Amino acid sequence: MKYTPNSPAIVEDMLRSAGFNSLDELFSDVPEAIRLDRKLKLGPGRSEIELTRELKGLAAKNLNTEDYPCFLGAGAYDHYIPAAIDQLLLRSEFYTAYTPYQAEINQGILQSIFEYQSMICMLTGMDVANASMYDGGSALAEACVLACANSKGKKVLLPDTVHPEYQQILQTYAISGKMEIVIVPSTAGVCDLEKMISLIDEDTACVVIQQPNFFGHLEEVEKLADAVHRNKGFLVMAVDPISLAILKPPADVGADIVVGEGQALGNSLSFGGPYLGFFAATKKFLRRLPGRIVGQTTDTEGRRAFVLTLQAREQHIRREKANSNICSNQALNALAATMYLTLIGSTGLQAIAVRCHQLAVYAARELEKAGLKLKYKAPFFREFAVLLDDPARANRRLLENGIIGGYELEDAMLLAFTEKRTGAEIDQLVAVLGGEA
Amino acid sequence: MEVPKDLLYTTEHEWIRVEGEQVYLGITDYAQDQLGDIVFVELPELETEVITGDAIAVVESVKAVSSVYSPVSGTVVESNIELEDLPELLNEEPYSNHIAVINISDPDELEDLMSPADYEAFCAEQE
Amino acid sequence: MSKLIFEKNLKGSNSFTLPPADIPEVDITSSIPASFLRETAPALPDISEVEAVRHFVDLSHRAYGVDNGFYPLGSCTMKYSPKINEWAARLPGFTSIHPYQSVETVQGAMELLYNMQNMLAEITGMDAVTLQPAAGAHGEMTGVMIIKAYHQGRNDQGRTKMMVPDSAHGTNPATANVVGYDVVEVKSNRRGLVDLEDLKSKMSPEIAGLMLTNPNTLGLFEEEIQDIAAVVHDGGGLLYYDGANLNAVMGISRPGDMGFDVVHLNLHKTFSTPHGGGGPGSGPVGVKSYLADYLPVPMVDKKDDKYIFVYDRPLSIGKVKNFYGNFGVIVKAYAYILALGAEGIKDAAQQAVLNANYLRQHLKKDYHIPFDRLCKHEFVATAKRQVDENGVITLDIAKRLTDYGFHPPTVYFPLIVKEALMIEPTETETRERLDDFLQAMASIAEEARNHPEIVTNAPHNAVITRVDEVTAARKPVVKWEDDS
């Protein structure tokens, strides 16, 4: 396939009209020594029919969650996506547009982002939200960068109940030398409050807490918030947006910056991306947030209008003084999230959150009845770990029985539940895992 | 472009008015014109110890951002909090609205600043 | 004016339902302590499906994408996004796979990633590629982290500064700062290229490297790239390639052969994946062999006919993102590269450069072209004549172009050119479309001469007139407030 539409005759005409004799002449400014004197080793171009064969073939080699019930979570969740979302996302005015720099011809995209920001504020209770980040992990890293840039200290404290990949991403971002990451061992699957509070000092820029945490359990946040605020640091929370339908909004427990993985809101699993990170904060950070922000204003005739605003924060203006370099974000994924929250609504989101929790509670009880033990006892939302001698073997057996099992920990399996799961599927899961007890 | 005769200037387009041991610091007409509509001013915290050349404030317009550098060493004794709500004052009357007041520790540093005539010549070069 | 979704609330109209539960529906307060629970539900919209669908369709009517028309946004490579790629990325075997599934169950996805790593290495002339970064800026950050890790790994601790040309996009200096480097700006010479003498004078044992786009942001090829590379390498630094403009030279000259050590690509520019109104993108990073150990984990490898993730890489910078990258975007770019093949890739670059030179040649009748010579995939024009003669500025021309049905070029960038209009037509436009654009630009120049108010008051055909950006930034309103 080629997507270059001009015929050879037209190309000839254009060359002459532009003052050139050949296509090669267009590259006369590229020194001979660095010109590629051979064809790229990519093979010949494919027709659409060949492409469909080849890609279908690759896709068919993957077991997918449409065919196999999936109990994996750990940061990406197999939620139902209303059919309307994909149809709407295929409106190519949305998906083939660039960032809406020209406000007058992109009011639709700008308004959708404004609506997205508003919904993220509704869920988290925070004052402001940006137009999205890459994903949950990188959003958390940027939240800590923001905290450090607005604090005298540079210590970032977090319990090891934060997602291990988030921990790793934070460590990677710390190569800047502007953050010092301190990971604090947890007890019984939740943050060790006493130890954590004892480590907070005036060099602490922020404390990070994930709610629910990586193991699915609920963390006591308020005391941490008080302690870090007393030392003029910030509380950064990473949250599961589905849980916010029933759990206290982060603003109510003292969070200063709230981030999270937004995939669960209407975005497919897609082997890990593209997802979206959401990013919200208190008013204090409005002019410091990373990324794009849409604001409401008026046009010259006084009509309501939307526009990219507070751009003096961003890299294209602030250049070497910018604390974040983000430009492209995950706008289309944020649009999917906006559509999801619109189509599901408050009652729908609550029903989903409650169902996820009830399924998890049911599974926990049935596993215990089958003689298995949960790794930790703390209250959980929709995910928990069950102790197993050989989680990898258990997963292989599940797969033989047509089930995609959970996330393998050293001595346990982390199981996640979405509204797509049923009691019958859980009974099957328990039957297989029960044999492992 | 207005360049009042009773002030001193810097190459960063700041004006300085000396009152005893204190200096009032603001941005010049030229600076506000180059920035365009100013939308936000980040003011220095009180009691901040500064040395010459420290960035002590940030002025943001819609399409640009500019640091304000301290022309002297000393201590910030006042920030013009009126600018928090009315940043446009820097556009409207740049010389009547200071950003900060600094208590100077070394009056000799004032000798490095530009006279109105020098500053006018400097701006002409920038064009 | 269209209502916000929150203003269309009609209590009780949402009809989303779950299937009946086949488990006991216990009260959540029996398993979650009340101290964790919220008292009131979040105030999301309550709206029927049909009204929700109409709302978003209505929003789409007030948006403008490549499928609506010509989009010559310089530096953004707004080429056509082939529809087969959208189809491919929506196959359930790609959308419905969990990132933590065991590798045996996702061999097709792994194979695709493995092949993609190799194809991008071939296109860029690099030895190893990571697909993890989510966007161009993210790839840049990853690349510069690798440079930092490399110097640290050699115990070369004094390199605290990164060089960036004055024509660079703001992301370059921002990236350097984010990774903890001070920025040293390198001047452009009168020809719009890196000033080699200035570069030499600034190269020192404190310099970690130089970040460069080639062709640069003026659309000009850095002809002295080999000398530039020699200066940086001889001084112990590394050369970073910002892949924003790779579309101009792919299949013709490779960054790896030019002397670059690290490169990031923008799959959402060069490899046709749609921009999505601001994302998602994908920003793979390629490196030469001596930097491969620093790439993020995991890498995809092939062992005994099986694709595997390799995590045991002790020198790796770590992870910059969850999981393995924007897989769904990578699928689309993969389909694009397969569709074009070796010859199609080169053809795309040639046609992109032809289209740009064609526009440049014919636009200069009415517009000032500051560097009027052979350009690559884009060039910079200015509104100098219109400003001087008619008081019409670049912004006015941009807004007026929308009345003619075109997306405006990138404006006021690069910063080293006043009143810049940065024009990148891409290879997927017909001559006819380019001629229409030239005609519109000529008409606007004519209007500027005879009826400047038509241009300065533009747009006239949009759903709104120009917006008050000043009030938006002075008194920010960034979310909906319920006034009722």
pLDDT, tens digit, 9 for 90 and up, residues A38-76: 999 999 999 999 999 999 999 999 999 999 999 999 999
Residue-averaged pLDDT of chain A:
97
Tell me how far apart the alpha carbons of residues C265 and C326 are, in angstroms, rounded to a whole number. 13
ipTM associated with this complex: 0.98
To test the contact with chain C by mutation, choose from A27, A29, A62 the residue with the greatest count of C C-beta atoms within 10 A, namely: A62
| Cβ distance of A29 and C223 shorter than 8 Å | yes
Minimum CA–CA partner of C22 in chain A: A423
Nearest to C430 among A6, A345, A359 (CB): A6
Q: How far is A83 from chain B (nearest CA, A)?
A: 40
Q: Which of left, alpha, beta for C325 (phi over 0: left; psi -120 to 50: alpha)?
A: left
Classify A345-434 by CATH class.
alpha beta
* Secondary structure class of A410 (helix, strand, coil): coil
Q: Which fold does the domain C84-339 belong to in CATH?
A: Aspartate Aminotransferase; domain 2 (3.40.640)
Tell me how far apart the alpha carbons of residues A219 and B80 are, in angstroms, rounded to a whole number. 43
Q: Does a cis peptide bond (omega within 30 degrees of 0) precede residue C459?
A: yes
pLDDT digits (tens, 9 = 90+) for A222-241: 999 999 999 999 999 999 99
A199 interfaces chain C, CB cutoff of 8 Å: no
Tell me how far apart the alpha carbons of residues A61 and A43 are, in angstroms, rounded to a whole number. 23
C26 interfaces chain B, CB cutoff of 8 Å: no
Q: How far is C275 from chain A (nearest CA, A)?
A: 5
In chain C, residues with a C-beta closer than 8 Å to the C-beta of A56 are 91, 93
pLDDT digits (tens, 9 = 90+) for A328-379: 999 999 999 999 999 999 999 999 999 999 999 999 999 999 999 999 999 9
The pair of three-digit structure tokens given for residue C164, joined into one six-digit string? 């960036």
- Tokens 């993020």 locate to C296
| Cβ distance of A315 and C145 shorter than 8 Å | no
| Cβ distance of B87 and C474 shorter than 8 Å | yes
> Which chains pack against A, by 3+ Cβ pairs within 8 A?
B, C
- Going by C-beta distance under 8 Å and a sequence separation of 6 or more, which residues neighbour residue C305? none
Mean pLDDT of C92-111: 98
Model confidence at C239: pLDDT above 60:
yes
Minimum CA–CA partner of B86 in chain C: C474
Domain extent, residue B28, equals 8-106
- Helix H or strand E segment including B79: strand B74-79
CB atoms within 10 A of CB B126: 9
Q: How far is B107 from chain C (nearest CA, A)?
A: 31
Residue C194: what pLDDT?
A: 97
| Cβ distance of B60 and A287 shorter than 8 Å | yes
C374-407 as b/e, with b when 16 or more CB fall inside 10 Å?
Answer: bbbbbbbbbbbbbbeebebbbbbbbbbbbbbebb
Residue B12: what pLDDT?
A: 93
To test the contact with chain C by mutation, choose from A67, A96, A330 the residue with the greatest count of C C-beta atoms within 10 A, namely: A96
* Secondary structure class of A185 (helix, strand, coil): coil
CATH 3.40.640.10 domain residues, chain A = 83-338
Q: Which fold does the domain A83-338 belong to in CATH?
A: Aspartate Aminotransferase; domain 2 (3.40.640)
Does B121 reside within a domain?
no
CATH, residue B62: 2.40.50.100
Residue A437: what pLDDT?
A: 59
Residue C284: what pLDDT?
A: 98
Model confidence at C37: pLDDT above 60:
yes
Minimum CA–CA partner of A287 in chain B: B40
- Per-domain boundaries in chain C: 84-339
Residue A312: what pLDDT?
A: 86
Model confidence at A417: pLDDT above 60:
yes
The pair of three-digit structure tokens given for residue A288, joined into one six-digit string? 């410091």
Mean pLDDT of A15-30: 97
Please classify residue C293 by burial: count the beta carbons closer than 10 Å to its beta carbon, then call 0-12 exposed, 13-18 middle and 19+ buried.
middle
- Going by C-beta distance under 8 Å and a sequence separation of 6 or more, which residues neighbour residue C303? none
Model confidence at C7: pLDDT above 80:
yes
pLDDT digits (tens, 9 = 90+) for C186-226: 999 999 999 999 999 999 999 999 999 999 999 999 999 99
A136 interfaces chain C, CB cutoff of 8 Å: yes
Model confidence at B63: pLDDT above 90:
no
pLDDT digits (tens, 9 = 90+) for A77-109: 999 999 999 999 999 999 999 999 999 999 999
Model confidence at C1: pLDDT above 60:
no
| Cβ distance of B65 and A318 shorter than 8 Å | yes
Mean pLDDT of C143-149: 98
Mean pLDDT of A170-192: 97
Does B113 reside within a domain?
no
Tell me how far apart the alpha carbons of residues B99 and C277 are, in angstroms, rounded to a whole number. 39
How many domains would you assign to chain B? 1
- What percent of chain C has a predicted confidence (pLDDT) above 90? 96
Portion 263-292 of A in contact with C at CB < 8 A = 268-276, 286, 292
Residue C484: what pLDDT?
A: 63
Confidence of residue A436 (pLDDT cuts 50, 70, 90): low
User: Which residues pair with residue C95 across a beta bridge?
Assistant: none
A104 interfaces chain C, CB cutoff of 8 Å: yes
Mean pLDDT of C149-157: 96
